[in-house]
Structure 1
Amino acid sequence: MSDILKSVHRTAKGLKKSGVMDKTTMRKFDVLCLTNVHEFTPDQVRNLRLKNNLSQPVFTQYFNVSE
């Protein structure tokens, strides 16, 4: 998250805490400030798993996904 987004989010949290901002608006700010998700290719996932010496079942449990 950029410094600007951190600052805006901190301000929004303060506004909500003081009752100036409602819960719905705060949720919108939360969504805007989420970390970007990096997409991996199947080969990158496999290489990461092998690099860490993990079996497929164990690797998938770390990320709560199916094999």
Structure 2
Amino acid sequence: MTCLDIEMAGTHFVSGGADKNVNVWHYDNGKLVSSGKGHSGTINKVRISPDQNTVVSVGSEGGIFMWQLST
């Protein structure tokens, strides 16, 4: 894992890393909620939007992805 961001409500967090996956985790039990793959390089940064509906990820290849969080 190279990056992490925690949701403002504290129920979920998102991570990214060299495996090129953006992962959403449940904060309390640590279980993987969902995962997305799209980057061709290491994910260097992830951020949950203030409205908590979108995750933005930035990869070492220069790609910027927006992922919609399901409710």
Q: TM over 0.5, yes or no?
A: no
Q: TM-score, normalised by structure 2?
A: 0.18
Higher Rg: 1
Judging by fraction of residues, say which structure has more helix: 1
Judging by fraction of residues, say which structure has more strand: 2
